[in-house]
Amino acid sequence: MSSETSPPAPLKEQTRNEAETPSSRLARFPAEAPLELDSGARLGPWQIAFETYGELNADRSNAVLVCHALTGDQYVASKNPVTGKPGWWELMVGPGKPVDTNHYFVICSNVLGGCLGTTGPATINPATGAPYGLDLPVVTIRDMVRAQARLIDHLGIDTLFAVIGGSMGGMQVLQWAASYPERVFSAVPIAAAARHTSQNIAFHEVGRQAIMADPNWRGGNYIQEGCRPTKGLAVARMAAHVTYMSDESLHQKFGRNLQDRDNLTFGFDADFQIESYLRHQGMTFVDRFDANSYLYVTRAMDYFDLADQFGGTLANAFTGTKTRFCVMSFTSDWLFPTSESRRVVKALNAAAANVSFVEIDSDRGHDSFLLDVPEMFQTIQGFITGTARARGLPAPGEEAGV
């Protein structure tokens, strides 16, 4: 098993091959060590791409796993090799940040089914020598967490100090706490839920149908045929992006303002700024994400129902847990509303878990967890500091044992 990639390829080739040979670190697992999936399939050989930040302490007790959302990646606090943009959560993770890499060893991996180095539909199927496409077994959130647990084993870490993530990342946090309670000292699910609602499944289905309706999708075989369903993927992204914002944030940012014109055109060009913005979001997204991966990862979210794994009672998922929880929601998030977070908190209370809950006042919708929301940073920093004391770790600005 290897844990490092070969030297980076030239930029053009590197961008093209990020799905197979990512710029990040890479752990490969042979066919003799397959990943058992919820579907009953055995995936092997397989690989998982990841980045790390900070230093692991001597007793390996300061590791923090950050779980990314639907279209995120392992580059949580470093430059994305495809887009060249800064890490997607550099506001949260880094030296002196709430998840302080001067004190904690941060791990972030690309999810199973993703497109930046972890086995997904764009990686090579060893049975055919071609990209998996739709031959990849359908994966679940629990499968993603199983893959992460294998990575944590590979890194020689027994217990994680914290698992933290928002949206789909928060789903992974809850799954970690349910599947491996003895390995998770603290858990921070943000803007998440223990299940995907029918409304959320509906939005995902619109996106998937847009992709599959694109003539260039070619039944999922577009890579082999030298084309890409960019129009369908762009529409899927546009539809999803609307759900990440609130009506108030859309109104404040765009209102009914016209785009580079004084009057309506009485046509179907982008008359309004919001139209132009969504088109831009769609077209830039296709440069960094694989269409089949979008199908797989949205499906994993749709299938997520933590209570269903435990006899239909959510509290059973946390029976006897010693994990410390900090559950967080945002007032204007209608995609993962506070009611879903309260459902998790109620189940944790029923299981007599150690849990704190905060609903943060924000008018920026579901995307609030990715934005500059001071109360969120203060809450997480306070929770992590208190948890570090309970763990016997020196928190930022403190000496060990204080």
Catalytic residue numbers read: 167, 333, 366
Which of the 8 DSSP states describes residue 160?
B
3-state secondary structure of 332: coil
Residue 5 DSSP symbol = P
CB 110 within 8 A of CB 98: no
Token pair belonging to 136: 């990849």
Torsion sign (Cα): 389, 375, 171, 338: positive
Partners of 35 in the β-ladder: 43
Sequence-distant contacts of 219-225: CB under 8 A, at least 24 apart:
219/134, 220/121, 220/133, 220/134, 220/292, 220/295, 221/133, 222/291, 223/122, 223/130, 223/131, 223/133, 224/130, 224/131, 224/133
**How many whole angstroms separate alpha carbon 340 and alpha carbon 167?**
12
